[in-house]
Every structure is written in structure tokens, then in C-alpha cells.
Structure 1
Amino acid sequence: MQKVQDITITINGQQQTVSPGMTVLQVARKLNLEIPTLCHDPFLSNQGSCRLCVVTVIDGKTNEKRLEPACVTPVQPGFIIETDSEDAIEARKTILELLLANHPNDCLRCEKAGHCALQQYAYEYGVDFPAEQDQGKKNQYASDDSNPFIERHMTKCILCGKCVTICQEEQGRHVLDYAYRGFATKVVSEGDGLLQDSPCVFCGACLQVCPTGALIDKTKKGKARSWEIEKVPTLCPYCGTGCTIELEVVQKKGVREVIAASAPSHGGGIVNGRSLCAKGRFGMGFIHHPERLTKPLIRKNGKLIETTWEEAFSTIAKKFKDLLQAEGPDAFAFLASARTTNEENYLLNKISRAVIGTNNIDHCARLCHSASVAGLAAAFGSGAMTNPIKDIEKSDTFLVLGSNTTETHPVIAQQMIQAIKKGSQAIVIDPRKTEIAQLAQEHIQIKAGTDLAFLNSLAHVIIEEKLYNNRFVEERTENFKALAAAVAPCTPQWAAEITGLRPEQIIAVARAYSRAKKAAIYYTMGITQRFTGTYNVMAIANLALLTGHIGRPGTGVNPLRGQNNVQGACDMGALPDVYPGYQAVQDEKIRRKMASLWAVEEEKLSIRPGCTVGEMIDGAAEGTIKAMFIMGENPVLADANSSHVVKALQKLDILVVADIFLTETAELAHVVLPAASFAEKEGTFTNTERRVQSLHKAIEQRGEARPDWKILTELSCRLGYPMNYESPAEILEEINLVNSAYGGITPERLHKEGSLCWPCPSSDHPGTARLHEESFSRGKGKFHGVPYLGPAEEPCQNYPYILSTGRRLFHYHGGSMTRRGALHWAYPEEHLEMHPKDGAQEGLRTGDLVTLHSRRGAVTLPVYLTEGVAPGLVFSSFHFRESRINELTNGARDPIAKIPELKHCAVRIEKEKDWSKREGRYKRILV
């Protein structure tokens, strides 16, 4: 291919050599020449609609002189360009005058004042509003303030088109568009109606690019002017994507307050660019919520009352010491948190092992991705996501299994949508018709709980048709013959009987995945929260090993982590069988090393693996666990068979909970310690792609609340083991010594470089964005021939439906954060999704109230009939304390990872009588 030659132009009297295809605006900005723009955005397609960027161009061939819009005019050889000619400046003034002639004259009270591009350019070019007699006709539109997130003032819209374009091009949605013609042209949502009645998911991308006061962040309206706001970069506290956000902080009467959050204003976040979801942008109301815990609480006479930190610590220390002497270390159990920092999880791990002497420490990864840790570690040697999120755009084909990505990981889903638009083949395997399933080229609507049969059958087809990568299998894997023997009976015909699919569907997926040059697999808890969760993950790993789709860009096996620091909590040793860095507690060499680092006797560190979350709860119910310390977790709502959890926690001699709200679990505690929120402390989080990033303190703690790391260091001192850290940075320096994968992830490097992916073993190591490129962590990748096993509980005559659970777009985990703020408006109550055929059989209509029964309990909630679920399947979330779905779910555990089967239990449905229609309450929810 012939190389395209650079071309020569003259700009502002200086000759420049530039690449063909560049626009005049691109050249000018490369040379730091300022040209005003209102409609241009460097990350979106050029609209050329505002014309404010006009420059004078003299065509080198014809010597013709003309005004051209710089943003859409490609440079040509011999161009002579003047960016600030008299003609260009006069044209810009005229454009500004025309815009102001149709614009409200309310700058003094406009929310965008001081941050409005139109206002700024009017100032720079000396243009004012025309006299009243010269204004002529103006468009007048009613404002839309129907939702608590975005206020729309279309009278202030200048039709730059940025909101329309970003919604379509970056977000992959088409909520906004132009309507009407000529002078009446207007940007509208669906049917020119209210935004709340449209398919808008309130990501706020339109807010980010609007240059005027046409779109306003309603959460901060009236709280501060733009020049009063300080933006503090930090990390989103919700899902595991690891988005960078900016907390907008104002200081009033000496007190700093977070009034809003926004996407990064300069350069964008390394993971999310300038994108956020509704939770990341509008979910910060919990920070200053009046229900925040601000003082320690202690139970006296059956009631929790406010107390001092001194009494709280003294009570805990005395009770812990007495129990340790009377019952021994294994009477204690600790729950770490996927929401707190790496440093805080590390300290709780240290207290559990070095101070108390037990390995009874676990956290919510047990309930989400413990199967990934176990299954991928067995296959590859590492249980983490193999490829960076940015690799999504590099895949020719990707499979999404058991993941409602658009609701649980919206920013990652956005990148999937972009990849689909650019030609990547997406295949979604899910019993529900989720949004990502509808957007994909292929939706494989599998029968719930039969993923393992499907995966084994894919392996059968790949081997039978010799579609596997023979060279990769020979050079980089082992145990191939065992796999081939295990999946030999798993024909597409056999799997079709189990999964409800057609054999040709299975064959087509196997061929598409194996024949792609670069194929990736993404999955979440639809795969792991199963009785066969570890087997499911091993079967996924088998496919990557067979095809060689691992260790390269656009490939890999990628479990998407559910909470903001669930990966980091695992890395820090918040697991019962490993120290930080996944070092086995049973390894005597490791034990000696840890004893030396922590300055304790070797005998203090137990070599017996501890209890998992479920085993802790069982132990509490049986009386073998006497004391629990729970940091930022809410097992009463999150764990399976939650009635059993409540009864168990009530039997403890002492339950201590550190949290930011009085959660359902904290309500049962003997001592409650008020913790700082993410906005009130420093530290690091590790996202789903193993990227370690820094959290930055924006405000002081509420009341007497303390960061968890300070709570833990004080508690440790009270228990006779001094921890004298001055900052989270000091704790990270110790982590560098303990966890070799974090060895080079120092506070200094994070401050300088922003983020690093582990493994990063030394200060000169660049970090590892992509795992297993040359070899696997365990040497060779290992195939596992796993037999098909069905769910632990199947439907029967008394319980004819399958209940599956999951998350909703506007909520998170137990709802303690998202239900305290504007997000609660978008999704105020839970309902049960059910197929219309099943609804007709039960005599139900949308809005009817039903009671859902399982063998473990009953929950009452409204029903919503939708073809989004398959017949025989019902679905609901676990966010709402009013409808505790996990009272119903099955506590049967995967025998390897000990993860409960939260995604599958048998239920029956009873219609409640005397309940009026409720369809009207669901309009916003069901959009």
C-alpha cells in the first residue's frame, strides 16, 4: 500500500506540514491556536451546525477566498488559513448575536452562569443581547423538571446537537433527536414528551456536553455557582468497573459538602473516559443523608443507644479478650467488605490472623465470584479477569453468559454496544431477554440452571469438528485427553434436551467462538451463583484453552466483578484459606514468612483454613462461633436463606458492625461503629480488571464517624497488638512487602501514574494489563473434564416455578446507598417479573399482589408480566428490605467454592385478594 504523503499548508502566516484528512480545527488545536466552537466535540462526529468556528481560507489552487467552518473542513494542499481574520471575527459576532436573539436574558440567575460557553464567547467577542425592539420572535418552551436528575430548558437550547450525538454515538441509545423544522426545530425525547416517560437511563452524558443552561444537573440546582465548586477526583463507590468520578464540593460556613458528582472534566477516566451510569453520576445523596451513623451505638436493655467511642472500644475489647481466653480463636469470625479500601481489608485480615489467631475471615466474594477464583485458579493459576476492559473493542466475537451487563455494569455494557456497532459479533446466553441480549446479534435463551450442559456441548463440538487450536493445546495446555473423554457424550442433541435449545444453535455458537480470530467470554453471577458454579467456570476456561482465545488482545475469560473493591478484598486476604496475594495458609513456609512480617509467633498463625461466610452463619447458629466483626457487609439482605442468617446472628455473644448506616444487619448488633464513607477517606480500590487506583478524600467525616482503617488500628491496640499507621499510604507500603503482586504498586507510583494493574512485582515493572500472554501462572493451562450436574433444587408440583435473582440498574446491593437519594425515585419498589403465559395460568395481571413461597419462607410483592423472562422462570432483585427475596433463596452450596445457589430455587405463587390495579406505579420502573 502506498503511503499517503503529508501536505503543506499555511496557517496564520506560518507554513506547516500536516497529515491529509485533518480538519482545520484539528490542525489549529495541534498548534495551540484558539478557535471558538459550540457544536464540536473531539470524541463525536462533527456536526458543523453552529458555524462559530468559521475561519478564512484561501484555496491554493483557485486563489478563492471564503469562510469555512473549521471543524468540518479538511485541509487541502496549499491552503492559506487565517483563524482570526476580520471577516471570521465579524461572522462569529453575527452568529453569536443571532443565538442571543433567541435566548433568554437570565444569565444572572442561570445555573450554568460562569460555566456557559455561549456566555463566555459573548464576553470574548463583546456581543450583548439585542435591544428589546430588535429581538423579534423567540421560541418559548415549557421546562421539563419531571425527574430528580436532569432539568431541561429547551428555550436555552442552541441546537448544537451534542446531546443528540453523544446519546447515539457514545451511549448507544437514541433517546434524543431533532423534531419539527426550520425556526421550530427542537431537541426532543420520545414523542416530544417528558424525559421520565422516555427510555432514558439517566446516564447524564448529555449534561456533560451541553454548552449552555439547556440541561441542568437537578441534584445540585441552587446549591452553588460554578466558580464556588471544587472538583475532587476519586473513584465511584458502586460496581467493579472502577470509574473515575469528580465529586463537586462546596464550602459553606466552614463545612465542606458534596453536592454532586460528574465524569472527569479533563482527559477522562482511564476506565470510563467521560462516561458514567446513573449511580455514578446521581447516586451520591447517601453521603449527607440524615440517617448516616454519626455516633457509636451500644445495646443496653435490648435497645441500641448512642455511646462514646471509649465505651464502644472498651466493651468490644473486654468481650473479645474474655471469649478468646474461654473459647479460643476459632470462636471468632470476621466479615471484610468489598466496599472498603484495600488497606482496610488488609488490616481486618491482619487482626483476624495475627491478633485473634483465626482464619475465619471472608467477604461477599463468597456470594458472587468465589467460583471464579476457584475455577480459574485451577485452570490458569490465577482467579482474576484476564484482559482489560478496553479489549472489548478488539474482539471479533464475544460471548456474554449469565450477565445483565447493561444494568449491572452499564459503562462496560456501553463498550460492548460500541463494539457491536463496529461489527463485533455478540452472543448472549441468558434465560432472560435482557437489554444486552436484545442488542446482540444472537440471544441463546437457555433454560435456567443448565449452563454446564451447554458449555460441555460447545467443547464437544469444537473437539468433534476439530475446531480447536491444536498447536496451542499441545504447547500450552495439559489434560486434553481427559477433557475429550469427559465431553464425548455431551452431543448437541444431548444438550438440547437439557437446555431447551436446538442442536443447531449450540453448533453455531461453537463454530462462531472457535473460528473467530479474537474471541472473549464475559460472565457474572448467572454462571457462578450455582450449585455447580466452579464447574461452570472450569467449563468456560476449557473453551478458552481449546481455542487459544487467551493471552491476546480481544480474547480472555473475564468475570465482571460486582462491587467496587471485591477484587481488592480478595487480593488482601479476605478469604479463609489464603493470606494476601493468595498465599495458602496451610503452607508452612508462607506461615513463617507472615509471622516474621507481622512480628508474631508462628504458632499464632493457624494452618487450618477458616470458615466461609455460610459456614460462619452455620457456626453461629450451632454455637461454635461466638463473636463476629462485620465491616460494611449486610448479610441479612445479601445472603441466601436470610431468616437463617437472622436467627444465627441473634445467637452470638457479641456482634460488632462497622457501617455508614444502620443496616438490617447492624440492627441486630451489640455494638455499632459509625464508619466514614468513600468520600471521607483515602486509600485504594482494585477494579474488575485488576487495576489499582487511588481514592481521594473530599470532605471530613460526618459527626464522630471514623475511617475503617482508624477503627481497626484502635481496636487492634486495645487487643494488645499495636498498629501505628499514620495514613493508608503507610499501610499500602506494608502491602507491598506482603503481597508480591502489589510489590511495585507504591503510593508514589499511583500518585504519578494514576493506576497500575497487578501483577506489578517491582518498582520498575509497568504492571500487567493482560494475563497469560506467554505462559500461565500455573505453568500450563489445565483442562478439567467436569460432569453435568443439575441445580440443587428443581421445580415440582408444589413449587412449579424457578426463582432467579439479580440487580436493577438504579440500585446496588442492599440498597443502603441507592435508596437514600434521587435514585430511589427511579425505582421505588420491587416487583416480580413473570411471563404472560404463566400469569394467565395463575389469573394474574400486571400490578396484582402475589405472595411468593419457597421451602424456606414467603415474600409478598407486586407482579409484572413480561416476555423478558422465559415461561417457568420468575425474577426479582434483592435490594429491598420490604421484599426480602433472599428469605426464599437456597443455601445449598457449591462443594468447592462454597458459594450458595442464589440464582435457582423452586417457588410457588399465590395471588393476594382485594388488591387494586397498580400498573400506574410502574411506568418509570418498566421503561
Structure 2
Amino acid sequence: MLTRELLREPGIHGLGQVPASLAPNGTTQTVCGYCSTGCGLRVHLQDNVGINLTPTTEYPVNLGMACPKGWEALTVLDAPNRATTPLLKNASGEFVAVDWEVALREFTGRFQSIQKDYGTESVAFLSTGQIPCEEMAFLGALTKFGMGIKHGDGNTRQCMATAVVAYKQAFGFDAPPYTYADFEESDCLTFVGSNPCIAHPIMWERVMRNGCSPEIIVVDPRSTETAMYATQHLAIAPKSDQSLFYGVARILIRNGWIDQKFVSDSTDGFNEFATFVDDYTVSRVAGETGLKPEQIERFAETIHERKRCSFWWTMVVNQSYQGVRTAQAIINVALMTGNLGRPGTGANSITGQCNAMGSRLFSNTTNLLGGHDFANAEHRKKVASILNIDAERIPSEGSWAYNEIMEGILKKKIRGLWVICTNTAHSWINQNLARDILDRLDFLVVQDMYHDTETAQMADLVLPAAGWGEKEGTFVNSERRFGVIKKVRRAPVQALSDFSIFRLIAESYGCGEMFANWDSPEKVFQLLKECTRDMPCDITGTADYEMIEANGGIQWPLSEGVTEFDQERRLFSDGKFSTPSGRAKFLFEPPKSLSEPVSEKYPFVLLTGRGSASQWHTQTRSSRSAVLKKLYPIDPFVELNPSDARQLGIRPNEWVIIESQRGRMRAMTLLTRSVSAGQLFIPMHYEGTNQLTDAVFDPYSKQPSYKSCAVRISKDSSSTASARQN
């Protein structure tokens, strides 16, 4: 049996040897597998096994720095709740350990049976931004071209879809234009709904190295840790940032503070935009944002007076029912002032997960491999030729988005789901409904490095996967830099790399011949290179993993024939974009009010976001580190303004109940003026948070609006009663 033969191949799973190229007791270079910063880490080896790590001093990303998560990256591999063998749920609802042959037979038999009964589109997958490009591409090609699965999306839909669409519509391609040197070279940095002090600490360290005496402007309803360093903190009303940037644009235009040459040579639609924003007077914008007129005027004046302005945004913009147009409101201000393509400038989306940028190019979900378009026949033909497959096997349209897949399950159009390296039952918006939807599936497979995630516990079959440090491949960080990850540990017991699991499933599903040459991540990397040829993300000038490592990572693009290049490069320095006209587009439309406004019954606006530098997403990994767990509150907490607390009779460190129309959670109060009256803040990492959030989506990006919904807060009567009894 071929499956059995593959399982015996050296290195096919976690029991395979650490590569012999590593010095048994030396060090090796890798990149971190947590966030999109992409820090360089030097792993220290003993008897060919990674036992410790230190940040790499010469790596151009982090320059010898690391955040708490990076320091603990190896520790979480030793957690006792690692998934070490396939688990199959029996008729009693209990998991039973099985071998890989049984697991693969169950996987293939159940999914093929569903497809036979309900059609090939009745099975879907949900992937991640936390596995290497080569694994993402293998999954996307296996499902779309081999298994006949049309619909699959990634959890990058939850964090980066808005930025992707905003860039595509404005620039013609998903192209974050910056390099991290811009943090140090800008004389005015504007952070919109971005708290890098907590969310991306190493990026914030780069800001702290800035020697230009920069203005630091923070646009955020909360007084975040980053806002505390700001020279200007614009504490706007939630979701009013679109109006703010339209008002700032009007001031710049009325005062003639625009780069007329750049606008004329490199953009389209400026006159229409100027007409549109003329209605956004200072008084109107002050009313909509809650800012003082002089704050708005000073913001515009600062942009004019400074020479190198950069604009940075993250999830508060992206995770919004109007995120795309808000991101483009920021892009518009950068365009009209010529703050693109020069050092210290840019309209810069900061990515979330370690390989979300790689997912955007290579997951083969809504985009065809290499940034191509499923709907373009020439693109399909090109990719088919590179992969040596029949072009007819490539769908002529992209997948449903994440929310549409969930809706498809609810409508019984999708009956089988394969979840890889993500935790939908915790992270998806309106969690109670999400769990109800997952529970309706005929067959749920979860592939993860831990067997006890909320989603794994709901699965019919759990496939044990290797984690970062136990496999090879490439990540692409926020500044478009490819970095190489190394295998420095063996995965435990029967756990396999995702790459190996996909290879085994291809054989089991009957499409193994299509992927006969996909026998190592680096071979797949060579295919991905060809898929980028002549695209804006062209990396055909990157020879191999060794070249990437030797150059401290390589930013795309780097086309074949280019032999001399800078270690840090930004896009659009020539004023040319990837649209048919070569010009960037001004895009705009009227902002909308809050999708769920406060009411008498639910009088507070709930804000969510990162809680600390030591927490990560649903805490699947970060909670496995004893060190990291000491650096943040284990119990959920809610930030509440003291004036609201007084009115409600709520004291500090008191258990309360927060409720929305969709659910309720229990949390401990933290009284602080970092949130304004009428607002609450709860970190996104706690399981209960997404029981409250509202399942509304941006119409262009389909990204969920996690950041604002209407809630109420009250004392937890059960804890009060318990306290009295004690």
C-alpha cells in the first residue's frame, strides 16, 4: 500500500531526523512563527536538537530584539496536550487513538461519500496564516485541483482581507509598499487603530530608534500604550475614522497642501474625490468624531509641515463593516500628499499572523497561486503549465469567503469541513452561532498541533500536526520579506508536518500522481517562484532557501536577472502602479453609522483588541508557556471608565457580566480612563469575547467587524452571593 510506504519514508513525519546540514551542537538561523513581524531567531542546538534561542543581531527585521512570545517559541512545543496520534470520535462521542492508515481511510471515505451524495462542492476547508507558503500552496492545489473542493478560505479573512482589497482596488495589486526602515526614517508616523507597543513590539522598538524627532499621531478611541507615547492622540468616536480622513483631506485641498505633480502623474480620480470631501467641513467632522476642531486642523497641518509622513493601520480599520473604504481614506491622504515610494512614507497595513502575507499570495483560495486571478483564462493556463496539470482542473472563479462557507454549512450546501491550524469555534465572530453551525456538519476534521482546542473538541477526526520548529518552509512578513524556517525538533510520536499530511491525503484520495514531484518544501518553493513570474510579486530572482538566508530574507519583488538589490526596498518609488493605467485610484463613499448602535438596553460600545504582548490570538500556543502565562491576567478582564463604574456601583476587581444580543461572558473589572465613558474594552484572546461580537461584514472584503457592538454590563450576582456566604 502506497500510504504505508510513504509513512516509512525518512522525514515524512515528525520522527524523521533533523536535517544533517545543521551543526549538532551549533546554531542555526530561522524566523519566528508568531506574528507578521518576522523576527530572525538563532536556535541553539544540542545533539542536533533545538534547546534554546536568541534573537539574531544582524537580521534586518529585529536587529537583535525579540518579544516575550519569540523567546518562548520552543517551549510551547513541549506542552503535554500536543496532538500525538490521530483521534477518531466513536459512537459514544469519545476520542479513540487510531493509526494513520485508519485516519486516512476515514478521512477519504467520509469526504468522498459526502461528495458522491451531495456534489463535490459539499466539502470545504478553512486554513490559516500560520503555516509556510509551501504547505499553503500544497493544501490549495490538493483541494482545488485534486480533490475537486471549490470552496476554502483562511483565517487571514479575519485580519487582512480588508487591506488586500483596499490595495487591489487602489494600487491594482495587493502590495504593502513599505519596509521597516520607514519606522525609523519617518518624521511623522500616524497609527490608525494600531497599538504596535502591544501587538507588534519589535516594530515599536524600530519606532523608538527613530532619530528624526517625529510627530507620533495615534487615532484610536482608547488611550492605548502606543497613545501614551503620542504627540497627538485623537480619541475619536468608534468607527468615525473614515470621516476624520475625509475632513483632513478637505483641509489639505483647501489650503493647497497637496503634491500636485504626484497627483497629476500617478493618480486617477482626484477631482471627483476633492468634490466629494468638500462636504466634510471641520464642524461636521468634529461632530461625527467627537474631536475638537483644532485637533483636526492640527493633524492636517502636521501632515503638511512634515516631509516624510507614514500612515499605519491594523485591525481596528480592517475588522470593520466599512473597513475597505476606511483603509482607502488613509491611502487617499498618502496619495494626495505624495507620501508613497519615498523613505519614511507610505499607506501601510501591518499584517497580523506570521505568514498572512504568504497566504495572500499562495493559499489558492480567493486568488490563484502567485496573485493570479481564477477568472482569467490566461492565468489558469499559465499556472496549469507550471504545475503540469490540465487547466480544466482549475476553477474559473475563486472560493466563497469564510462567512459564506459558514452560511453554506447553515444552508446544508456544505456538509464536510476540514479545518487546518485555526480555531474557528473560538475565533469566529458570534461564537455561539459559529459553534451551532459547526455542530451541524456531517463530518468535521481538525488538523492541529494540540488536541484540546475548542474546535478540535468538536471534531469527528483530529489529525496531529507538527508545529513551528518541527518543519521547513518560508514565511512572508509584513514588509514582503521571505524568511526561511528550519526543522530543529522532531514532532512528537505520530505527529506529521502539514506538508506530509497533505502528501498522504493526496495518495489516499487518488490524486497522488498529480503531486508526485511535490516531495519537499523547497521543490514546491521552486514552483511558487515560477507562479510569480511577471507578476508584481515576482520572486524568480531568488535562487533557493540558501540565498534567502544569506541575504537576511528577501523582499518581493526580485525578478530573474537582478543581481544587485538593497536589503530593504519599498514599492512605487517610480510613481507607477499595477492598475491598467499605471495610476493609483482615489476611492471613496459616504461612511455609515455604527452597525449596531447603543440603545437603552445595551448602552455601551464594546471595543476588542490585543491584551498584552505575551498573548496570541486564541492562546492555543501562548497559553502553553508558563512564562507567558505569568505576564498576563489568566481571568478575562474588562476595562471600564471610573465614571461609568461609579454610576453602576461597580468596584475595581469585581466580577461582572457583559451581555450583547448574542451572548454573555463573565469578566473582572479593571477601572481605567484608557477607555472613554460609554465604552468597554475586552481583549480578544479570551474565549468568551466572541460570544458578544456581531456577525456583520465589510461588503467588499467580507471581513468580520469584531471591534464594535452594543453591550451592557452588570454585577455578577452569583459571585456577590458567593462572597456573602464566604
What's the TM-score, normalizing by structure 1?
A: 0.72
**Distance in 2 (alpha carbons) for counterparts of 1:329 and 1:758:** 36
Q: Report if aligned partners of 1:258, 1:699 keep a CA contact under 8 Å in 2.
A: yes
**Residue 685 (structure 2) pairs with residue 879 (structure 1):** yes
**Residue 122 (structure 2) pairs with residue 331 (structure 1):** yes
Residue of 570, 575, 581 corresponding to 1:770:
570
Counterpart of 1:416 in structure 2 is 207
**Distance in 1 (alpha carbons) for counterparts of 2:345 and 2:376:** 34
Q: SS state of the match for residue 826, structure 1? A: coil
Q: Report if aligned partners of 2:145, 2:394 keep a CA contact under 8 Å in 1.
A: yes
Q: Report if aligned partners of 1:487, 1:785 keep a CA contact under 8 Å in 2.
A: no
**Residue 477 (structure 2) pairs with residue 671 (structure 1):** no
Question: Aligned-pair distance for 1:528?
Answer: 1.0
Q: Report if aligned partners of 2:251, 2:297 keep a CA contact under 8 Å in 1.
A: yes
Counterpart of 2:370 in structure 1 is 581
**Distance in 1 (alpha carbons) for counterparts of 2:436 and 2:577:** 44
Q: Report if aligned partners of 1:518, 1:554 keep a CA contact under 8 Å in 2.
A: yes
Q: SS state of the match for residue 915, structure 1? A: helix
Q: SS state of the match for residue 656, structure 2? A: strand
**Distance in 1 (alpha carbons) for counterparts of 2:493 and 2:110:** 26
Counterpart of 2:698 in structure 1 is 894
Q: Report if aligned partners of 2:147, 2:511 keep a CA contact under 8 Å in 1.
A: no
- Shifted more, 540-549 versus 299-308: the winner is 299-308
Q: CA deviation digits over 1:214-250, x for unaligned, max 9?
A: xxxxxxxxxxxxx996433211111100001123343
Question: Aligned-pair distance for 1:595?
Answer: 3.0
**Residue 592 (structure 2) pairs with residue 789 (structure 1):** yes
Question: Aligned-pair distance for 1:597?
Answer: 3.2
In structure 2, runs of 5+ residues without a counterpart are 1-22
Q: CA deviation digits over 1:172-217, x for unaligned, max 9?
A: xxxxxxxxxxxxxxxxxxxxxxxxxxxxxxxxxxxxxxxxxxxxxx
Aligned length: 683
Q: Report if aligned partners of 1:239, 1:562 keep a CA contact under 8 Å in 2.
A: yes
Residue of 705, 710, 713 corresponding to 1:906:
710
Counterpart of 1:825 in structure 2 is 630
Q: SS state of the match for residue 584, structure 1? A: coil
Q: SS state of the match for residue 819, structure 1? A: helix
Q: Report if aligned partners of 2:365, 2:398 keep a CA contact under 8 Å in 1.
A: no
Residue of 492, 505, 515 corresponding to 2:295:
505
Letter in 2 for 1:428: V
Counterpart of 1:157 in structure 2 is none
Counterpart of 1:471 in structure 2 is 261
Q: Report if aligned partners of 1:235, 1:694 keep a CA contact under 8 Å in 2.
A: yes
* Counterparts in 2 of 1:273 and 1:358: CA distance versus 1, 3 Å: same
What is the 5 A alignment of 1:219-618?
Answer: 230-251=26-47, 258-264=50-56, 267-301=57-91, 302-419=93-210, 422-576=212-366, 578-618=367-407
Residue of 517, 534, 539 corresponding to 1:742:
539
Letter in 2 for 1:871: A
Question: Aligned-pair distance for 1:667?
Answer: 1.0
Question: Aligned-pair distance for 1:337?
Answer: 1.4
**Residue 607 (structure 2) pairs with residue 804 (structure 1):** yes
Letter in 1 for 2:375: Q
Identity %: 29
**Distance in 1 (alpha carbons) for counterparts of 2:441 and 2:539:** 36
Question: Aligned-pair distance for 1:631?
Answer: 1.1
**Distance in 1 (alpha carbons) for counterparts of 2:644 and 2:51:** 46
Question: Aligned-pair distance for 1:283?
Answer: 4.5
**Distance in 2 (alpha carbons) for counterparts of 1:416 and 1:870:** 27
**Distance in 1 (alpha carbons) for counterparts of 2:503 and 2:671:** 52
Counterpart of 1:129 in structure 2 is none
What is the 5 A alignment of 1:147-166?
Answer: none
Question: Aligned-pair distance for 1:658?
Answer: 1.0
**Residue 565 (structure 2) pairs with residue 756 (structure 1):** no
Q: Report if aligned partners of 1:336, 1:574 keep a CA contact under 8 Å in 2.
A: no
**Distance in 2 (alpha carbons) for counterparts of 1:812 and 1:910:** 28
Q: CA deviation digits over 1:719-778, x for unaligned, max 9?
A: 122223332111101111122323233324224434111122325354872111111122
- Shifted more, 591-600 versus 404-413: the winner is 591-600
**Distance in 2 (alpha carbons) for counterparts of 1:400 and 1:834:** 23
Q: SS state of the match for residue 291, structure 2? A: coil
Letter in 2 for 1:327: Y
Residue of 655, 670, 673 corresponding to 1:864:
670
Question: Aligned-pair distance for 1:666?
Answer: 1.1
**Distance in 1 (alpha carbons) for counterparts of 2:639 and 2:481:** 36
Q: CA deviation digits over 1:792-847, x for unaligned, max 9?
A: 11111111101111112210011011111120112122200111111111111111
Residue of 491, 498, 502 corresponding to 1:712:
502
Letter in 1 for 2:435: V
**Distance in 2 (alpha carbons) for counterparts of 1:641 and 1:335:** 17
Q: SS state of the match for residue 581, structure 1? A: helix
**Distance in 1 (alpha carbons) for counterparts of 2:359 and 2:256:** 41
Question: Aligned-pair distance for 1:916?
Answer: 6.8
**Distance in 2 (alpha carbons) for counterparts of 1:595 and 1:627:** 27
Q: Report if aligned partners of 2:248, 2:296 keep a CA contact under 8 Å in 1.
A: yes
Q: Report if aligned partners of 1:246, 1:261 keep a CA contact under 8 Å in 2.
A: yes
Q: SS state of the match for residue 661, structure 2? A: coil
Question: Aligned-pair distance for 1:917?
Answer: 13
Q: SS state of the match for residue 27, structure 2? A: strand
Counterpart of 1:131 in structure 2 is none
**Distance in 2 (alpha carbons) for counterparts of 1:485 and 1:381:** 24
Q: Report if aligned partners of 1:361, 1:612 keep a CA contact under 8 Å in 2.
A: yes
Counterpart of 2:10 in structure 1 is none
**Distance in 1 (alpha carbons) for counterparts of 2:644 and 2:25:** 53
Question: Aligned-pair distance for 1:470?
Answer: 0.8
**Distance in 1 (alpha carbons) for counterparts of 2:119 and 2:478:** 37
* Counterparts in 2 of 1:248 and 1:588: CA distance versus 1, 3 Å: same
Q: Report if aligned partners of 2:187, 2:212 keep a CA contact under 8 Å in 1.
A: no
Q: Report if aligned partners of 1:482, 1:785 keep a CA contact under 8 Å in 2.
A: no
Of structures 1 and 2, the one with the larger relative CO (CA 8 A, separation 6+) is 2
**Distance in 2 (alpha carbons) for counterparts of 1:381 and 1:864:** 45
Q: Report if aligned partners of 1:342, 1:685 keep a CA contact under 8 Å in 2.
A: yes
What is the 5 A alignment of 1:16-31?
Answer: none
Counterpart of 1:87 in structure 2 is none
Q: Report if aligned partners of 1:684, 1:693 keep a CA contact under 8 Å in 2.
A: yes
Q: Report if aligned partners of 2:74, 2:469 keep a CA contact under 8 Å in 1.
A: no
Question: Aligned-pair distance for 1:568?
Answer: 0.7
Q: Report if aligned partners of 1:853, 1:909 keep a CA contact under 8 Å in 2.
A: yes
**Distance in 1 (alpha carbons) for counterparts of 2:233 and 2:684:** 25
**Distance in 1 (alpha carbons) for counterparts of 2:74 and 2:643:** 40
What's the TM-score, normalizing by structure 2?
A: 0.91
Letter in 1 for 2:497: P
In structure 1, runs of 5+ residues without a counterpart are 1-226, 919-927
**Residue 549 (structure 2) pairs with residue 731 (structure 1):** no
When the two chains are superposed, the root-mean-square deviation of aligned CA atoms in Å is: 2.0
* Counterparts in 2 of 1:761 and 1:360: CA distance versus 1, 3 Å: farther
Larger Rg: 1 or 2? 1
Q: Report if aligned partners of 1:531, 1:792 keep a CA contact under 8 Å in 2.
A: yes
Q: Report if aligned partners of 1:801, 1:906 keep a CA contact under 8 Å in 2.
A: yes
**Distance in 2 (alpha carbons) for counterparts of 1:287 and 1:917:** 41
Question: Aligned-pair distance for 1:880?
Answer: 2.5
Counterpart of 2:443 in structure 1 is 654
